[in-house]
Amino acid sequence: MIHYRKLNVDNFETMRLELEAATIDKVNANIRFWGEHYSWFETNAPTFYNFIESRKKVPIRMCRFYLTPANDFLAPHADGTSDNRSPIGLNIPISGYQNTTMDWYSCPDDNFENGHLGFNKTPASKVIDPTKLVKIDSTVIDNPTFVRTDVVHGIVNDNPTCRLVLSLRFPYSYKFGQNFEDVMELSGL
């Protein structure tokens, strides 16, 4: 299984700077996570919005910003519950992403607690015993990157600053939305 796919986006630095400027107040307020309606980006980050509009094959289901504190981590987890995983996301690094990793792990099926355990009580699977995890992949999210979120994953931020990432989520079912190419035109990226 491929856990991530980095995209080579020509005007990524412009997108990143627009997103950074649009989120500075929430970052300064140290808000750990927040969502914005997809239409918010048309005004606040138009380069990003136009890029997504030109490539998306399906509507955007959710847009959420995640702020990981300096020298901190996001514990390994899987998005969704064991019977309904949220398979993929498009992560956009905004700031503090150098020296941070997104790691994926193998995990026994009986090592999950399912429930509304995610941010804002979203469905998620918490790992019961982290000692049973085995790291199977790792990357630095340093440009727009599709990631598997139905596999146990976590974040380690070894920076002296906060890490800010935007994650887009897409509609899915057992037959659709399981692969990166299902939701976005990736040719040339």
Residue ranges covered by each domain of the chain:
4-183
How far apart are alpha carbons 28 and 176 in whole angstroms? 38
pLDDT at residue 36, rounded to an integer: 97
Q: Select 4-183's CATH number: 3.30.360.10, 1.20.1560.10, 2.60.120.10, 1.10.1370.30.
A: 2.60.120.10
pTM, full prediction: 0.93
pLDDT at residue 119, rounded to an integer: 66
How many other C-beta atoms are found inside a 10 Å radius of the C-beta of residue 180? Answer: 21
Strands (E), 69-111: 72-81, 84-85, 88-95, 100-106
Rg (CA), the chain: 16
Give the residue from 1, 147, 178, 3 showing the smallest Cα distance to 85.
178
Angle at 141 (CA atoms; ends 100, 8), nearest 5 degrees: 150
Tens of pLDDT along the chain (189 residues) come to: 899 999 999 999 999 999 999 999 999 999 999 999 999 999 999 999 999 999 999 999 999 999 999 999 999 998 887 778 889 999 999 999 998 999 999 999 899 888 776 667 777 788 999 999 999 999 999 999 999 999 999 999 999 999 999 999 998 887 888 899 999 999 999
Give the residue from 38, 146, 37, 155 showing the smallest Cα distance to 87.
146
Q: Where are the alpha helices (DSSP H) in 9-78?
A: 12-28, 40-44, 46-55
